[in-house]
C-alpha cells in the first residue's frame, strides 16, 4: 500500500520554510507519546491542524473509512469531543484512569514534499495500558502526515494500524 492509498483526504500545503528532517520528526513523535502518557490530552489535541483527521482502521489494509466501519475515525471536531470526554469526571470507562507507557521506534520518512515542509512519517509503536487490574498491550504501525506550520510541527493526519485491529476489543478510550 502506498502512502497515497492510505489517506482518504487531501494533504495540506505547508507554509513555513523549515525543513523537516528525520531527527525532528522522531523528536516530535516522542513528544507526542509523552503528552499522551502524561494525560495532557489538550496539549496533544493542539498538535493537530484545524482540519486534521485521526483514523484507526478495523481491518488490515483497510482502504477507506467512509464505506467500511473503523475503530475510530475522527475529524477535528470529533477529536475535540474525544478529548473533552477524557476530561470529564463522568467518563465512567476511565474510572479509574488508565496508565499508559508508549515506545516509538523504527521511524522512517516515507514521502516528503519537494520543499521539505511536509512529510509522511512511518513508525512502530508499542503501548502498555494498565487499568483495573488488567494490563493490555497494543502494537502496530503509525503514519503521521506532519507539516511545518506557524505553530511548529503539526499533524495533518494520523493513521494507526493495530496488529490486532480486527480482534474483539474492550473499550479503546485512551487514544493511540
Partner 1 sequence: MNDRTNGKNGQANGHLVLEDRKAQTFSVNREVFVSPTVFEDESRAIFDKCWIYVGHASEIRNPGDFRTRNVAGRPIIFCRDRQCTPRALINSCRHRGAIVCREREGNARQFYCMYHGWTYHTDGKLKAIPGDDAYGEKFDKSTLGLVEVPRFEHYRDFYFLNFDRDAPDLATYLAGAKEYIDLVVDQSPSGRMEIISGVQEYDIKANWKLLVENSVDDYHLVTTHSTWLNYMRNSGVNISVPKGQLLPTKGIGKDLGNGHLTTDNPNYRGRPVAKWISIYGEDAKADIDAIRKELVERLGETRAARVADTNRNLVVFPNLVINDGSSVTVRNFYPLGPDHMRVTAWALGPVEETEAQRARRLHAFLTFYGPGGFATPDDVTALELAQQGFAAWREVQWSDLSRGMGKSANEPQLHTDEGHLRVFWRRWSELMEQHP
**What secondary structure letter does DSSP report for 133?**
T
Q: Is 135 in the site for partner 1 (CB under 8 A)?
A: no
> Which region, left, alpha or beta, applies to residue 117 given φ > 0 means left and ψ of -120 to 50 means alpha?
alpha
Backbone dihedral region for residue 140 (phi beyond 0: left; psi -120 to 50: alpha; all else: beta): left
CB of 68 to partner 1, least distance (A): 4
Q: What x/- string results for residues 9 through 48 when contact with partner 1 is judged by CB under 8 A?
A: ----------------------------------------
Cell numbers 492509498 correspond to 5
First-last CA distance in the chain: 21
Considering the complex, what minimum distance in angstroms separates the CB of residue 173 from partner 1?
5
Task: Specify the DSSP class assigned to residue 8.
Answer: S
Q: Which of residues 56-95 bind partner 1 (CB under 8 A)?
A: 56, 58-59, 62, 65-73, 77-78, 81-82, 84-85, 88, 90-93, 95
The nearest distance, CB 153 to partner 1, in angstroms, is: 26
- Based on CB atoms, which residue is closest to partner 1, 67 or 150? 67
**Least Å from the CB of residue 164 to partner 1:** 11
4 near partner 1 (CB under 8 A) = no
Whole-number Cα distances in Å, 91 to 10, 78, 86, 98, 129: 33, 16, 7, 12, 17
Does residue number 114 form part of the binding site for partner 1 (CB under 8 A)?
Answer: no
Are 147 and 12 in contact by the 8 Å Cβ rule? The answer is: yes
Q: Please report, as ranges, the residues that interact with partner 1 according to CB under 8 A.
A: 56, 58-59, 62, 65-73, 77-78, 81-82, 84-85, 88, 90-93, 95, 166-173
Amino acid at each position: 500500500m502506498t502512502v497515497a492509498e492510505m489517506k482518504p483526504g487531501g494533504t495540506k500545503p505547508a507554509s513555513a520554510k523549515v525543513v523537516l528532517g528525520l531527527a525532528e520528526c522522531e523528536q516530535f513523535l516522542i513528544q507526542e507519546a509523552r503528552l499522551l502518557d502524561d494525560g495532557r490530552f489538550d496539549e496533544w489535541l493542539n498538535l493537530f491542524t484545524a482540519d486534521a483527521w485521526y483514523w484507526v482502521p478495523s481491518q488490515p489494509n483497510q482502504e477507506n473509512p467512509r464505506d467500511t466501519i473503523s475503530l475510530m475515525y475522527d475529524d477535528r471536531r470529533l477529536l475535540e469531543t474525544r478529548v473533552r470526554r477524557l476530561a470529564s469526571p463522568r467518563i465512567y470507562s476511565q474510572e479509574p484512569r488508565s496508565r499508559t507507557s508508549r515506545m516509538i521506534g523504527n521511524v522512517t520518512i516515507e514521502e516528503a514534499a519537494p520543499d521539505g515542509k511536509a512529510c509522511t512519517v512511518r513508525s512502530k509503536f508499542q503501548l502498555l495500558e494498565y487499568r483495573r487490574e488488567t494490563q493490555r498491550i497494543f502494537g502496530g504501525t503509525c503514519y503521521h502526515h506532519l507539516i511545518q506550520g506557524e505553530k511548529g510541527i503539526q499533524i495533518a493526519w494520523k493513521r494507526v494500524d493495530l496488529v490486532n485491529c480486527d480482534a474483539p476489543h474492550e473499550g479503546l478510550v485512551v487514544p493511540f
